[in-house]
Structure 1
């Protein structure tokens, strides 16, 4: 019998009444009345050019053919233009940003190398890095002193001669903290001075008030992870990419898993998404930023509860409940009974998950207003 390999994994807490995480997610996915505030997905797109492009692709039966293995040239050019990285950069289109993260950790890390990540963070990256490198140093960043993010000084304090990779999730899932230009330049200098790589996961970039790329300042030491799951509202289509200089991308090509290409229908939608971005992005940003305020007003009514990073530069935020004496898992289960899907903190933190509830708010404002009402009801019902 094959023994399962043991790597760093998120502690997915399964709500009562479900045997497995897959069973739970199938339940919330198939319930059409469920308000989806637990996976940072974007539900604010109307019927628009993105949907039309995918429907047209299906009608033409594009799905009967394999696409170009690295992505349609038009899509690749559009992503690079969107990032302003048209000169001296290349991109591989992948099945979501997650595949890009896997390829990068696989390619960069050797058995003796270590990786620096943050806690809280996106723990699947720790999982990947622990497969290919020696170990992962997950730096605690859940405090005001560091601004609830992995700073250049923290990296310097925790790196050693075998550090090969630093992971920047920017804005950070689950807190929504983001980096200034000065901090990004400092990270770039750190990477060049120590000959290490910065894995810059910019999945939530388009929700940020201001955002900067490591690739602009240390191009040969940066790998930029691009995703269509969030601002473009295409999470279920599983499409993203990784951007780097030619030498880096050539190295990644040697270990590509999906050499028959990425979902054609998703790529057609992605092309339309970038082309129409200026038509809808302001509306989505304005809605999410207004939705934040509604949640903040509710949280401010609860003694002991607070939002560590406000305003958030992502489409999610953490609500710290520790001083209320209420467990985030209990709140999540209470809200689930009200048809609201949220996530307790252990999914994104090993050290601090018992403190907070993560809530995403790229959903219609009426749903956020309903959440605010039910959240206050949950606090009243569950308080010690």
Structure 2
């Protein structure tokens, strides 16, 4: 078995030929042949209203003007309508969900607080929380007993009178696990009873088979983080939003640095994305769910490899490799040589990164089929060494 410490050392090394992480990502980004399975981005949108609206915005030179500082009112209304949160909520459009996360942590937390997150999870949340709170309790969830997610029971066992915020990434990056309506209601009751906040990151919501908003049950205690990066395929445009009760959003507005508004071209694309969503959402969901099956067949053909969460309610999941003897770093490097960008586990877990490879599958089917072939091929080759 590969130890976490040994794996952590291995994961810090860059692929051969690269001196910095920025240099590596520049290479991956600019290689037109690269199959992008390493950052959960969506490559399934064809030429549609999203693209055309942004091209028209550029043609009209909209970018010469600053947009409204909190986001176009029409865009704010459409986001709330998309979530079914039309009354008693306010919204702030941000430069991506990541900015929303940072603003929430900065405003809500103080040095006497602690924050509950999970491992595996989106580690930048832990990073942000540690800047403003006393400490972060990252609860291990990589096991069948808890369903590979942060349960209300686990939170109760780990919270105390100084717990101020619980982070729920739902569906969860990197595992693809999702919360039931009962679990969401239980978290809402917990937040109300203990006067704490729930940070509900719903970046992958539209990939899920069934999804429920905490905000509908605990509006005064919930900050919902919304992103256009994934289902809308707009990752590089950096646009998102945060939604909460008006007094919470008013407080967050007092610490905003970017008071001249979010990228105007991105907002025009976001408007078109929300308006056209019924036209393309079903196709993208069907494709990603079909792609999961292709990957599962390949994983089932590799002795010792398995999918802890299947089917995933996101556009990603992890492939556990610990019983194969192949380090995730090594198969990731093998795949990179085949023009396939996947991500080893250290990116999303401090405790379990030595176990798994994370792959996303909101890409064309033929690219997933290429991954499946080279994954099986690569595991066989690496095992023989």
TM normalised by structure 1 equals: 0.97
Q: What displacement does 1:12 show? A: 5.8
Matched, 1:191 2:191: yes
1:81-100 equivalences under 5 Å are 81-100=81-100
Q: 1:19: how far off?
A: 1.2
**Corresponding residue for 2:39?**
39
Q: Please tell me whether residue 103 in structure 1 is matched to residue 103 in structure 2.
A: yes
Once residues 257 and 96 of structure 1 are traced to their aligned partners in structure 2, the CA distance between those partners, rounded to angstroms, is 14
Tell me which residue corresponds to 2:125.
125
Aligned partners of 2:12 and 2:133: how far apart in 1? 24
SS in 1 for 2:136: strand
SS of the residue aligned with 2:225? strand
Distance 1:310 1:356 in 2: 14
SS at match of 1:276: helix
Structure 1 consecutive aligned stretches of length 4 or more whose deviation exceeds 2 Å: 11-17
Deviation at 1:16, TM superposition (A): 2.6
SS where residue 145 of structure 1 aligns?
Answer: helix
Q: CA deviation at 1:18?
A: 1.3
User: Residue 255 of structure 1 aligns with which residue?
Assistant: 255
| Alignment match, 1:54 | 54
Residue ranges of structure 1 left out of the alignment (5+ in a row):
1-10
| C-alpha deviation, 1:109, in angstroms | 0.3
In structure 2, list runs of 5 or more residues that go unmatched. 1-10
Secondary structure at 1:92 match in 2: strand
TM-align CA RMSD: 0.7
- CA contact under 8 A between 1:76 and 1:91: conserved in structure 2? yes
Tell me the residue number matched to 1:244.
244
Residue aligning to 1:276? 276
Offset of residue 135 of structure 1: 0.4
TM-score (norm 2): 0.96
Residue deviations 1:343-368, cap 9 Å, x none?
A: 00000000000000000000000000
**CA–CA distance in structure 1, aligned partners of residues 17 and 204 of structure 2:** 32
Partner of 1:71: 71
Closer/same/farther in 2, CA of residues 382 and 228 from structure 1, 3 Å limit: same
How far apart, CA to CA, are the structure 1 residues paired with 2:251 and 2:264? 24
Q: Which stretch has the larger CA shift, 18-27 or 311-320?
A: 18-27
Q: Please name the residue that 2:309 is paired with.
A: 309
- 2:166 counterpart SS class: strand
